[in-house]
């Protein structure tokens, strides 16, 4: 039984889009995506002290100015789960914000997913309870994939999830130049064409049916080229040879939002060039809609050394060496 005086705690790990493909613009204005995502060893920290009143406080190096009202995704996720369950034990949330905001690594979504995990523990809900998944989808496009924080394919607008993947560890350096990037502005710059009806009609029947049940995880949801990539990366081994093959496969893919994001925030070009110039960099790419970029290295010594150099050269940048899984 939970001690009412003991805070429940969890981490909200950064989400990294290793690949991101935009299939087209849907009739509702949203964009149909495919993305292979992994999660970093760095993130925010969230705690929940059970109590009669729902509240939120925020501190940490990236917490200044963040709202603590119902516009915050943590509280929105709580309200969404309450709407699903009818009644819900809540309490006082406290967020230690370490991840940069509006940065393409799902910080707010990870926080919301962390809140749902804590509420599930407090209320005795299973991690795969359909109400939890529906609340995640209702809160934001990236929240469902952040619930379990496991590498997998996400599709649709984020509501369709493939099976969890066991990827070899990737030694990464994350860099954000301190410039927030509005996702909507990047999609406007992309100017994606309408989604092809033929493509939509060709989706597996399980995925078409799932459109009416957002938030439900669909096993093996990847489509098209990303499916082949996921199978290649798949689930065997974690040795350096496997990691090298994974990085080679990733190099053949890309992030369709990178070019428009560079037009919105040209500093992304500077970040990518700085990463590619570091010894041992095997791949440098933007995550999500930016402006955070990542570089992959063969080992932790190379990623850490690159981080130390960039932190000295650009003291205003957020620089973090980490492991992606």
Annotation says 15 is catalytic: yes
Annotation says 97 is catalytic: no
Q: Distance between CA atoms of 161 and 142, rounded to whole angstroms?
A: 11
**Each residue's pLDDT tens digit, 46-82:** 999 999 999 999 999 999 999 999 999 999 999 999 9
Report residue 249's pLDDT band, with 50, 70 and 90 as the boundaries: confident
Report residue 199's pLDDT band, with 50, 70 and 90 as the boundaries: low
Catalytic residue among 15, 97, 111, 320: 15
Greater pLDDT, 227 or 323: 323
Q: Region 287-305: what's the mean pLDDT?
A: 97
**Each residue's pLDDT tens digit, 110-142:** 999 999 999 999 999 999 999 999 999 999 999
198 Rama sector, left if φ>0, alpha if ψ -120 to 50, beta otherwise: alpha
Report residue 44's pLDDT band, with 50, 70 and 90 as the boundaries: very high
Query: So what's the pLDDT on residue 166?
Result: 87
Residues of each domain in the chain carrying CATH 3.30.70.890: 172-195+230-324
Of all residues in the chain, what percent carry a pLDDT higher than 70?
Answer: 85
Cis check for the bond before 291: say yes or no (omega within 30 of 0): yes
Rg, C-alpha atoms of the chain: 19
Q: Region 289-296: what's the mean pLDDT?
A: 98
Residues of each domain in the chain carrying CATH 3.30.230.10: 8-164
Query: So what's the pLDDT on residue 242?
Result: 82
Q: Is the pLDDT confidence value at 94 over 50? A: yes
Q: Is the pLDDT confidence value at 232 over 80? A: no
Catalytic residue among 44, 111, 142, 256: 142
CATH topology of domain 8-164: Ribosomal Protein S5; domain 2 (3.30.230)
Candidate from 5-9, 119-123, 275-279, 300-304 with smallest mean pLDDT: 5-9
Query: So what's the pLDDT on residue 243?
Result: 87
Candidate from 19-23, 107-111, 204-208 with smallest mean pLDDT: 204-208
Q: Region 296-320: what's the mean pLDDT?
A: 98
Give CATH superfamily name and number for 172-195+230-324: GHMP kinase, C-terminal domain (3.30.70.890)
In this structure, the chain runs to a length of: 325
Mean pLDDT of the chain: 89
The residues, any chain, with a CB within 8 Å of residue 63's CB and separated by 6 or more, are 95, 96, 97
Candidate from 97-101, 229-233, 287-291, 293-297 with smallest mean pLDDT: 229-233
- Helices 240-251 and 224-233 meet at what angle, rounded to 10? 170
């Amino acid at each position: 039984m939970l001690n009412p005086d003991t805070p429940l705690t969890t981490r909200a790990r950064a989400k990294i889009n290793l690949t991101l493909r935009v299939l087209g613009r849907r009739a509702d204005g949203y964009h149909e995506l495919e993305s292979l995502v992994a999660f970093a060893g760095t993130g925010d920290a969230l705690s929940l002290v059970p109590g009669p009143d729902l509240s939120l406080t925020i501190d940490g190096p990236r917490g200044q100015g963040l709202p603590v009202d119902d516009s915050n995704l943590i509280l929105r996720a709580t309200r969404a789960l309450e709407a699903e369950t009818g009644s819900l034990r809540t309490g006082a949330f406290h967020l230690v914000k370490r991840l940069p905001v509006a940065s393409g690594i799902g910080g707010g979504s990870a926080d919301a997913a962390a809140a749902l995990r804590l509420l599930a523990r407090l209320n005795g809900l299973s991690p795969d309870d359909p109400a939890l998944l529906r609340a995640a989808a209702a809160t934001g496009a990236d929240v469902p994939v952040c619930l379990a924080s496991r590498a997998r394919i996400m599709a649709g607008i984020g509501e369709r999830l493939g099976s969890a993947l066991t990827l070899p560890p990737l030694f990464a350096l994350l860099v954000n130049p301190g410039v927030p990037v509005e996702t909507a502005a990047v999609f406007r710059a992309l100017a994606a064409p309408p989604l092809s009806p033929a493509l939509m009609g060709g989706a597996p029947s399980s995925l078409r049916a799932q459109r009416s049940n957002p938030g439900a995880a669909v096993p093996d949801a990847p489509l098209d080229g990303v499916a082949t990539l996921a199978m290649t990366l798949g689930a065997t081994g974690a040795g350096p040879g496997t990691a090298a093959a994974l990085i080679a496969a990733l190099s053949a893919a890309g992030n369709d939002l990178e070019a428009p994001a560079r037009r919105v925030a040209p500093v992304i070009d500077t970040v990518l060039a700085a990463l590619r110039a570091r010894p041992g960099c095997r791949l440098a790419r933007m995550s999500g809609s930016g402006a955070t970029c990542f570089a992959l290295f063969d080992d932790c010594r190379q990623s850490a050394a690159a981080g130390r150099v960039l932190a000295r050269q650009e003291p205003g940048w957020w620089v973090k060496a980490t492991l992606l899984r």
